[in-house]
Structure 1
């Protein structure tokens, strides 16, 4: 098994996307990339003052799905051209970011971003940085969409993302 860590807006959205993908064993919502020491809380991260991003850590089987395919799914599951924003979610905690675990992931991520750039009107602003410390989010943020599919945010924001995922990547879904 391998790990991938990415952020593209609210972690509930990204978690729901990767929960649908073949070869993904587990998706954990969390925080990373901050400048404040210690384990951050959701409230602290949402303040935008800690520097952390809302991210998901994806545990996957590379024999079933490649890191490259996962990055393509990630890049097409959010808007990588909006700085510190995804829809109504605004702040550095919602930035588009790929945290690589090794040099191979860094190279693949840079290549995918470069290859996808011509398909967007605006420049891609996705940050590519080494993963430092990953902090698992509080329990009520894990499996949020699965536990709350009829909640307002889920029906208005996450369900359309999942519909787009099914349209674009049906061959890679469970």
Structure 2
């Protein structure tokens, strides 16, 4: 084989193997790994002001609900839990948040609870789901609500209790969800 033929074959082979644009990709998002470069600590800190203001919680007990330490990156999913840090043995549960990269292959999870209204915050639809109270919550005068939104393939959730369906915390929480996704997505 001549050197020219060998060089041509090697060049063509390397182009095909590396995929340097010879074949257009119709779904580039399936080829790229989009992960958040923000830390779990940033995710846990994001709704802190919401819980402090709306629940009058001077001190919060915040913990990541994933198995990763809070200094780790969110990656494709992160979640945090918020409790009132009042020094009691069983602090009052206030809620949680989630940020997750949406996977096209994932099956939608069925949410326990009943659907509520859809709010629009800065052009983003935010859905309400009224949840049954967790088994460890004794207060039956309030109910739990989950707010969910999706932006650029990232799903965000914020769960907390409300007094009624017109509680002003709902609008404030919806704003937190939208801002959180925009600030912390990949």
Q: TM-score range by the shorter chain?
A: under 0.3
Structure having the larger proportion of residues in helix: 1
Tell me: higher relative CO, structure 1 or 2? Use CA pairs within 8 A at least 6 residues apart. 1
TM score, norm. by length of structure 2: 0.27
Structure having the larger proportion of residues in strand: 2
TM score, norm. by length of structure 1: 0.28
